[in-house]
Amino acid sequence: MSHIEDNIVRAGFSLPLPAVPAGFYLPALRQGDMVYTSGQLPLKDGRLVEPGGKGKVNEINQQDAATAAGAALLNALSAVKFLIGSLDAVERIVKLTVYVASESYFSGQHLVANGASSLLVEFFGEKGRHVRSAVGVAELPLDASVELELIVACNPSPKPE
């Protein structure tokens, strides 16, 4: 197990198996030293894991959506690990984008995104500090409350001999 995965376990979490894509796309793609993930939902064993229920976020279920953002983050990290072999190869979390299915009057998307941002810093330390966008949207796939994407810088790929 890697140092980063040890941090994940110490925080009370575990990485799931990479999610099977629901369409014609890759869960993550490496281009040079950068890894880009597809949008990740808060899924576990193919089902939404949303403590307060799925759907649009408002002030009442904002904390539940932040927890769901953490579950989506674990899926994104799983996709990264599957692609690069070890999360210890991550040099820096560059960008996190969190989409929040929001009621029209809800403006706490940044607080929902904190559910993932705080875990990145807990797992990766300073390498986990990142730039971020938190965006309110009308609907998300499967009526999920959140979806997120990561951009990660990693150690260079070994050169072919």
Domains of the chain: 3-154 (3.30.1330.40)
User: How many Å apart are CA 21 and CA 41, to the nearest integer?
Assistant: 11
Q: Are strands 131-137 and 90-101 parallel, antiparallel or unpaired?
A: parallel
pLDDT digits (tens, 9 = 90+) for 127-161: 999 999 999 999 999 999 999 999 999 998 765 55
The pTM is what?
Answer: 0.93
Q: Which of 5-9, 11-15, 47-51, 116-120 is the least confident region?
A: 47-51
Distances (CA, A) of 44 to 15, 16, 47, 123, 135: 10, 7, 5, 20, 23
